């Protein structure tokens, strides 16, 4: 990871306008940041230290759970839990959400501090999860917050 480039980005556009995409895959029991269409493992583990260090260069993280992304097989609860425990800044999780129960699991595993995206599972993208139900779920969460 090129910290100098991150510093340059912060200088040019400001930390408040930066979201870091930390796509990761599990390898040898750790989540490792991946690049090049999620095929190349970096040497950087996604852990509390990395999340803390990188928080100086972004306002939010977008974390793709690559092992489940786009497969409609459910979420990676272990990864969501890690994000909920360790991210010092806002974080949005992407990967595997197929049902409203998956959104509930993200809320629970992430201790209420992890946001979520839903992609290919949405009916507007050819999936089975009705977009309107996701909107209603989100609105219900806002009322309960």
pTM of the model: 0.93
For residue 32, the SS3 value is strand
Return the DSSP state at 93.
E
- Say whether pLDDT at 38 is over 90: no
Please give the pLDDT value at position 39.
85
**Cα R_g (the chain), whole angstroms:** 16
Distance, CA of 76 to CA of 112 (rounded, Å): 16
Distance, CA of 38 to CA of 98 (rounded, Å): 21
Return the DSSP state at 130.
-
- Over the chain, what is the mean pLDDT? 94
- Say whether pLDDT at 10 is over 70: yes
Distance, CA of 12 to CA of 6 (rounded, Å): 10
Structure tokens, 73:
């097989």
Give residue-wise pLDDT tens across range 102-142. Answer: 999 999 999 999 999 999 999 999 999 999 999 999 999 98
Distance, CA of 63 to CA of 27 (rounded, Å): 16
> How much of the chain, in percent, has pLDDT values that exceed 70?
99
List, in order, residues 6 or more apart from 86 with CB less than 8 Å away: 47, 48, 51, 52
């Amino acid at each position: 990871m090129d910290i100098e480039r991150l510093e340059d980005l912060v200088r040019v556009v400001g930390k408040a306008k930066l979201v870091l995409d930390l796509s990761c895959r599990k390898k040898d029991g750790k989540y490792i940041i991946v690049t090049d269409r999620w095929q190349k493992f970096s040497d950087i583990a996604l852990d509390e230290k990395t999340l803390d260090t990188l928080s100086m260069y972004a306002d939010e993280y977008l974390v793709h759970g690559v092992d489940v992304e786009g497969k409609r097989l459910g979420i990676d609860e272990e990864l969501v839990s890690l994000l909920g425990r360790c991210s010092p800044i806002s974080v949005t999780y992407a990967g595997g959400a197929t049902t409203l129960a998956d959104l509930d699991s993200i809320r629970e595993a992430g201790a209420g501090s992890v946001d979520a995206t839903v992609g290919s599972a949405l009916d507007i993208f050819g999936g089975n999860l009705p977009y309107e139900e996701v909107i209603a779920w989100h609105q219900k969460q806002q009322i309960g917050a």
